[in-house]
Amino acid sequence: MDVRITPDIQIVKIFVAITMWIIVTMACSRKEWTDEQRKEFDQNCSQTDTFANVIFGFRGFDNNEFDSVLVKEFNDTILVDKFKVFVRQAQSPHDIEQKNRSFLITRTMHTKHTYHFIVPGQEPFVLANMKMVMWAQYTESSEGWGCDMGDYTIDGVRFEYNANPMFIKRDSSHLK
């Protein structure tokens, strides 16, 4: 039996060989940060006092309770801004069952300010004492780091290494 390799099979073999070479090269060239780079990034991150593009969540609220909330921004006791944000309705079966809703604030916020989230029928939720934290962001071929607002208090309760604040519906003893 005479087996001949056609040009199409040769092209496939060359393609497979090149692909394997690329994969091996990428896997062997993992980029890692030095201790000095990590320390410098952490120091710069901790000195950052603004952030944006944060997803906030609500738990325990039905879709028909409200469609937006008012946010008041305070620098110490001085009201410096107020704005309205629209809240996404729970859509997936899990979110509907758990009454999970969310919204995104794209504007610049300040870690040294305090934010009051005014939800109809509730006392304001107070977000304060915010700090920026360094987060590991690894990929298959490299080490990376991010800087996010991930340390804060809501109504005086501390949350650490949590980049998405969640406001949980209070029982009737906390209602207005």
List, for the chain, all residue ranges whose pLDDT scores fall below the cut of 50: none
The pLDDT of residue 105: 95
pLDDT of residue 1: 59
Question: For residue 11, what pLDDT is reported?
Answer: 72
Given this model, what pLDDT does residue 136 score? 81
Q: How many CB atoms lie within 10 A of CB 56?
A: 21
pLDDT at res. 31? 72
Instruction: Give pLDDT, residue 5.
Output: 57
Segment 34-55, tens digit of pLDDT: 889 889 999 999 999 999 999 9
Quote the pLDDT of residue 28.
Answer: 55
Residue type for position 94: H
Q: pLDDT tens digits, residue range 108-131?
A: 999 999 999 999 999 999 999 999
Average pLDDT along the chain: 87
pLDDT for 59 equals 95
**What pLDDT, on the 0 to 100 scale, is given for residue 33?**
80
Q: Evaluate whether 24 touches 141 at the Cβ level (below 8 Å).
A: no
- Burial class of residue 101, CB neighbours in 10 A (0-12, 13-18, 19+): buried
Give residue 145's pLDDT.
84
